[in-house]
Structure 1
Amino acid sequence: MSSTVKSSLSLEEKKYEFSGHTLNITTFKGASLGVSAYVWGPGLVLCRYFEDEKFNFTGKKVLELGSGTGIVGILAVLLGGDVTMTDRAYVLKQIEYNVSANIPATSRHRSKTRALLWGTDQNNFPTDFDIILGSDIVYSPSQFPGLIQTLLHICNDKTIIYLSSNLDARVGSENFHQEILPKQFNSEVIHTSGGNCIYKVTKKSPRDEH
């Protein structure tokens, strides 16, 4: 990144420690990224869960939705995964900056960054992901239909989804997890931390829906 671009942004860097890895995560303040220019609690809770449960993503094809800073997806790469980090197109430079800062060149072939607008771009993606990750992506009811549409497309019957959500602080989050998601997905709370809940989610088979 050029010094000109750096000076026009207010870059804030913070260190995080997970699973024996030090992550230097930079947020692009002043770049009009809105909620994407923060490291939110549910993402840190999900990273800590991977650490506590000694997750190993080796051999797994992973998709992260709403990557934001990329902290969760980057950790998944460092833990062995083949990870595609996605967000709206204007957020990708921030993700790519953090990928370059945290993923060694020898592992970068297991990291991809792509634009994905829920409900619009999902058909450009394959349906053979082993794991879907999403942290603090359930916060705007207007986005819920597109999110469900995207999850239905990218999941197969073996895909496991991990959603980390702040039920106390996000409008409609409780309704999404208790009413909307269960219509087409099996969902269970596997971890709680304060107001944050991690859900393990799988797509219902046709016979489950009747």
Structure 2
Amino acid sequence: MNAAGEEDDPFPAEDCLFAETFSQETVYNLMGEELKIRQVFGADLGVAAPVWEAALHLCRYLEDQSVEMKGQRIIELGAGTGLVGILAARLGADVMLTDLPLALPQLQANVSANMPSCGWPSAPPTVLPLSWGENHLNFPSDWDLVLCADIIYLPDTYPLLVETLVHLCRQETTVYLSSKMRKEHGTPRFYDDYLPNRFNVELVQRDEKQNNHIYKATVKAEP
């Protein structure tokens, strides 16, 4: 962890398999909240195990832009450790955290560990399995915000993610996506070719040093 209280990526993106299972707990101070996030490496969690830099970028951006959380209905896709969604819940949002089934025990453990001493300001965060393009129709379509941090790295999932986002969004919904722009994974193509087919897309922050971009998107009106 560096001097600013932020943790560098513990493993490169390519190193997703770990020979042994171990865990570490890191404290993050974000938007006036102290979060204790446990990361379980091994157990086949792969990319769901660590807190990625893109998640921290998104939290900082939401704070810098004074994006309102209190009273908002928020769903996070590919939540992993749950850092972003748990922070939103601590700030008073009604939050649903989603990921593949394998990631849910770690996610639920972090939700439980970060319940404020006086209880959640809104409803307790919900943790549910969501497989893009498969069971997304089981989820409501009335979210205020959809949050996505470093989930654009498997080209085969790109059309499924867009399909899922379209279902989740109403005209008033705002989607924030924070991504390390990995050319080897085709990440730029998602924002250039896939997402603009159904969404109005705006690049709102570019971090050249970390090669991380944040995009803001709203669903296009039906013709």
Q: TM-score, normalised by structure 2?
A: 0.85
The one of 112, 128, 131 equivalent to 1:114 is: 128
| Counterpart residue identity of residue 131, structure 2 | L
1:85-125 per-position Cα deviation (integer Å, ceiling 9, x unaligned):
00001101101111111122610733110000000010110
What residue is the counterpart of 2:79 in the other structure? 67
CA RMSD of aligned residues (A): 1.5
Q: Which runs of 5+ in 1 are unaligned?
A: 1-7
Assess, with a 3 A threshold, how the Cα gap between structure 1 residues 25 and 170 changes in structure 2: closer, same or farther: farther
| Contact 1:19/1:54, CA 8 A, preserved across alignment | no
Match of 1:54 among 38, 43, 66: 66
Query: Partners of 2:184 and 2:104 in 1: how far apart?
Result: 24
In the TM superposition, residue 169 of structure 1 has moved relative to its aligned partner by 5.6
Q: Structure 1 CA distance, aligned partners of 2:205 and 2:124?
A: 28
CA shift, 1:53, in A, is: 2.3
Identity over aligned pairs, percent: 41
1:44 match:
56
SS at the partner of 1:138? coil
Deviation at 1:197, TM superposition (A): 0.8
Separation in 1, partners of 2:81, 2:24: 11
Tell me if structure 2 keeps the 8 A contact 1:138–1:170: no
Distance 2:43 2:66 in 1: 35
Q: In 2, distance between residues paired with 1:55 and 1:143?
A: 28
Give the superposition deviation at 1:41: 1.1
> 1:170: how far off?
5.6
Partner of 2:212: 196
Q: CA deviation at 1:10?
A: 1.2
Contact 1:77–1:110, Cα closer than 8 Å, also in 2: yes
- Corresponding position: 1:165 with 2:179: yes
CA distance in 2, matches of 1:13, 1:113: 20
Equivalent residue, structure 1, for 2:162: 148
* Offset at residue 9 of structure 1 (A): 4.4
More helix, by proportion: 1
Gaps (5+ residues) in structure 2?
1-19
